[in-house]
Chains A and B, each alone.
Chain A
Amino acid sequence: MSMNNSSEKIDRGRRSFIGVTAGTAAVAVAPGVVLHTMAGAAPRSEAVTSDVRWGMLIDTAKCADGCDACVKACDDENGLNLQIKPEGEGDAKWDQQVAKWIRKVKLQDNATGHLTNLPLMCQHCEHPPCVDVCPTGASFKRADGIVMVDRHTCIGCRYCMMACPYKARSFIHEVVAEKLTRAPRGKGCVESCNLCVHRRDNGESSTACVDACAAEGHNAILFGDLKDPESPLSKALGALPSRQIRQDLALNTGVRYSGV
């Protein structure tokens, strides 16, 4: 904070010069900036590598009771809200058969009564039991850590659903009439959260649930690269105490929870 000396006049000429120079520089650089962003948003043309491992940190303290923005966003992004109850099916049974990739869970501690809210989805384990048990190898772990189902090879045996410690997988029980181009889905195969893999491969930087949670102002879900020590996710994991659900199974999940 400097005192304005009344004797020094503001040099308007200098100001305008700086302004024009800055403007020109910005105009010169801007196309490059725009191009860089577009290149980042381009569909992937090289195979994924294990240089990256996608993960999440869910801060349950920020997860709001009664909010299901992440669930709605996932349903919308991945076409899960296009599933139609077959005619003749009861509502209750359909609710148990409709596919869901993410759900909200509310817990109460048996001893203290403390309440916790959290979203639960495929945990993208490093040693996934679902991958171990799949007879055809359709359930697989991609190089970048995403655990997903190759539904061209899936025979619909549902063994992975038996094996998942988080009950993350869903089976498609009905003929699917309307499918999204970005999220194919068909009767007889098994699927689960794939960290919005179509977004990953098209260069976008986050998942639908993360965006929705941020849009609601809660910011309970943080998504990023676990292998990059400079990523916001790694930094948050360093700062906040967190753990895996069912840590005793030693699956080294990609999704971590804080406050549960």
Chain B
Amino acid sequence: MAKAVVRGSLISIGLVGALLASIVQAAGDSYVVPGSKAAQLENCVEPTDFMRRNHMEVIQHQRDETVHNGIRSTQHSLAGCIECHVSYEAESTPVPVDSEGQFCETCHNFAAVGVNCFGCHATVPALTDREAAAEVASRADLGWHPPITMSTPAVQGLQPETGGEGR
């Protein structure tokens, strides 16, 4: 009986793991929201892998540099991140970057890590930066579709054995 329970749980863990792996693969390499300036660009200010693992350290180091030393010219500014990663609805209206389905929120929601920044920091670019960014974003010919998350129906219909794209 105990053996069966252990065996059963090991198999389920394995299946869930494979499911997760396939989903990550199926979702593609990016959480960047189509309709943002970032979607048009090759990669972030640093390589994507680096950003995935270290963006929090970059942000926290930069904030000290900005607050205590007044440095605002680097490519690591939070305002820069938002300006690039915010997506635009019709008529250049930016969608707050921490609302559901948007860039910061999707990944942080998945990882279950709270995003404390936007309690104080603006979630849309400053008006002066907005027009320029919306310009770049609007040049996309991809059309707009919702970002792929765990709750996307196509993802939920995935079978663990397929292990490949499941769109």
Contact = CB atoms under 8 A, between A and B. Distances in A.
Interface of A: 42-48, 140, 142-144, 148, 150-152, 175-176, 178-182, 184-187, 189, 197-198, 200-202
A201 B69 CA distance: 9
Contacts of A148: 67
**Chain B, interface size: which category?**
20 to 34
Contacts of B64: 150, 152
A150 B79 contact: no
Interface of B: 60, 63-74, 79, 82, 119-123, 125-126, 129
Nearest to A150: B67
A47 B69 contact: yes
A47 B120 contact: no
A150 B66 CA distance: 10
A43 B120 contact: no
B66 to A, nearest CB: 8
A178 to B, nearest CB: 8
Given A43-B73, A45-B73, A181-B79, A142 B68 contact: yes
B64, B72, B123 — most chain A CB neighbours (10 Å): B72
A16 B116 CA distance: 67
B70 A197 contact: yes
A176 B63 CA distance: 20
Contacts of A198: 72
Contacts of B60: 152
Given A47-B70, A140-B68, A150-B68, A179 B126 contact: no
A44 B77 CA distance: 12
Contacts of B74: 45
Nearest to A45: B73
Nearest to B67: A150
Nearest to B71: A44
A180 B126 contact: yes
A113 B74 CA distance: 55
A201 to B, nearest CB: 4
25 contacts: A43-B73, A44-B73, A46-B71, A47-B69, A140-B68, A143-B69, A150-B67, A151-B120, A152-B63, A152-B64, A175-B119, A176-B120, A178-B122, A179-B123, A180-B126, A181-B79, A181-B82, A181-B126, A184-B120, A184-B121, A184-B122, A189-B120, A198-B72, A201-B72, A202-B72
Given A152-B63, A180-B126, A185 B120 contact: yes
Contacts of A45: 71, 73-74
B67, B121, B125, B129 — most chain A CB neighbours (10 Å): B67
Contact of A43 (B72, B126, B129): B72
